[in-house]
Structure 1
Amino acid sequence: MALPQRERPKAANRWSILVLLALGLMISFVDRTSLSSALADKHFVREFALTSIARGWLNSAVFWSYGLVQMPMGWLVDRYGVKWPYSICFVLWCIAAAATGAVTTLSALIVMRLLIGVAESVVVPATYRYLANNFEETQKGTALGIFSIGGKMGPALGAPIAAWMIVTYSWNVMFIATGLVGLIWLVPWLLTVRNDYPTKEELAAAIHRASSVPLKNLLASPVVWGGLINNFCYSYFAFYCMTWMPAYLVEQRGLSLEKSGLFTFFSFVGIAIVAALAGWGADRIIARGNDAVVVRKCFIVAGFLGGTTVLLGAYAPSLQMALLWNVLSLSLLGLVTANTLALCKLTLIPKQAVGLNTGLQQVATSLAGGVSASLAGGVSASLSGWLLHIGGSYELPLMAIFGFLLVGATSTLVLLQRKWAPKVNDIVPLELARTDAQTSAGVRSEAGE
């Protein structure tokens, strides 16, 4: 006899929870990127004696720890549900973000950033597990478009708010306030989301299902590698904008800290709007009977090519033109956002491996964040800092973005094909797995409960 399935949440409740997930993502990005405004503040830089390379590494610290535990977090939510792992991690990262305002040494600052990265690593695997369980193919683009708004509005709102608080109060107050205010989100989350922590019986079944797509099957799939490349290339540009855009606008284009926050806001509002519309538009085209893979690939390639216009901003002769290309290039990247997420993490991935694959994909995303700082968030944050150091201007960092976006477009065309999706192994029938699990673990039968 098959395991009883918990009822899928009602449609209205599903969309409400999706909005909460988007808000959770927004808060994570506010806490993750508030440092970028502090790094454009001369008092903060002087207090910690930061060089351009040190700023890059500091920007990237959150992404390295974030990437390190992505796969364990994916494994965790595949087996233990979404509600409680997310809740616990949310509290931890908010406290660490607030504590950043109280540190007095560079080493303590780095430790806080590492803790934020570890705790925030639950956000994306948990969200994709929820979407895989509750949304159909013709809803995925729209759902991911809505979810991705949180990731764009985080830096869009966080940059000007953080800049204003630093100028009006201090960088210490900014970190403490942005960290603690986010805790308000926990109230509707705990009240709205049902407890999906599995029983022993359900846990045995989840482990059984996940075993049909082991990690080696994911690593053998060109689709997974294409997704890794796409995530890296997309995130390299996005994380550059989150970590270095305020400093670029202040140092190379001569804007005040407040105005740099405002134009960062415009850029991320632009990508958020385009991402939501592109996800919805792709869903509508697919609903008319068109192939989901082909439709989403067209949007992705167009977005990567549109993003390459960022290089025009580097050579723009006037401030107005530079700001135009700055906003437009990131906005056009929004064509990629929801569609690459849907294609690489849901459409072409077996449902039972969504959490693990998402964790694997997020490793590339967080590495992208770190390079700009040292090698892509990790590489993007650090590599950009190094390129800025050796080039003396932001032209080399922007040329690197141009190259990565072309790589992303090529990867989409070549690797993201249905025939190369991860293989699902044959497994023992669920009824036998259930019986074995009950016998070995002493789980009570349904009749006896």
Structure 2
Amino acid sequence: MDFTKEYEQKLTTAENAVKVIKPGDWVDYGWNMATVHDLDIALAARGQELHDVKIRGGVLMEVPEVFKIPNSKEHFSFYSWHYSGIDRKLAKEGFITYVPVRYSEIPRYYRENVEPMDVAMLQVAPMDKHGFFSFGPSGSMEAAICERAKHIIVEVNDKIPRCLGGFQAEVHISKVDAIVEMKEPYARCMPASRPATDVDKAVAKIIVNEIPNGACLQLGIGGMPNAVGSLLAESDLKDLGVHTEMYVDSFVDMAEKGIITGTKKQLNPGRQVYAFACGTQKLYDYLDDNPACMAAPVDYVNDVRVISAHDNMISINNIVNMDLYGQVNAESNGIRQITGAGGQLDYVMGAYLSKGGKSFICCSSTFKDKAGELQSRILPILHPGSTVTDTRANIQYVVTEYGMVNLKGASLWERAEKLISIAHPNFREQLIQDAEKQGIWHRSSKI
């Protein structure tokens, strides 16, 4: 069947497409690298005639034009599912607010819990011969958005890779109300990862030694998971699989070197499964029309039951800080939101439930604050207002450059002892004193 005529009938300009948006509407902007661009510019141009337009999106890679107009806050507000550095800056300026969420639940939120979208504006890859527009690397919840949106506008960007999937990875032209072709298409890329520090390498080495042949990997966002990926790419491990929330460049390196085959996976053998992807152009080129990779909705990819169905599931995630009870904060600096919960808890739980699986929480033992003072990431208690991303009952392995400890089955005394043992030496004595005040330091505890 030829969809050319229908395409031509629905093809319009960004300026015409956004005329459907009314004051008070809920509008979706897409997600991460596939956030709309030309449609954002066109909506900003209408800003002065609109008020109380509420936008959903997240992990922004550019500042939306709607926030650059005079008195923007009177016209637009933005609700973010997950903060990038840009989201965080805009939140500080009062343009954006965070929506607390487990990433895996967002599709259900759209279907059941939040106001239906009046207008969904989604950036997509060019239509295929069957009339489908691929959501590209950002399709984790787009299908759910389309199910409930009253009006669907797609912004076609021919620089977005066509990401193959098992299901819910595309929208058919019959469901689309308007098509806009991006005037100057480009792919939003992340800069190459910073070189691994000595601390990153030390943590990565500890974790890599715990990974068996045939393991299934999830790598979180950040320098240490990237360092683990780089070290794995240089290892002699075999037949690794991928089932991950975010697909990153290090997976490409491992796949091209033959380390990733997916042949030992219990689900979707031979395919690298992910909810969204973001990285360099190399990553997008690798994903494009690649049947070895499988884009799928996040309520499948991050489902604890699906994660745990993989034997030897290995989950590796960064944190902001944690306390001596084992409570992990991976998303805020006190009351200031830094990022989001994402799927960390799902993978912490799923990996532990997996046969032979292991969940790793990794961090440098210290960091320097704005004044240049050294601060410990292992704290007596979390700072007031800090978010508990992972509860103390869920944590398995914790790794710093000073070693690795397993908190499963450990009492409060044992947790304090273990965590202090991998804290920076400069802070251990103070942590012991704090633990004694809190009644979680036993007289027989030793470092």
Q: If the TM-score is normalised by the length of the shorter chain, which range does it land in?
A: under 0.3
Kindly name which structure, 1 or 2, has the bigger radius of gyration based on alpha carbons: 2
Higher relative contact order (CA 8 A, sep 6+): 1
Larger strand proportion of the pair: 2
Larger helix proportion of the pair: 1
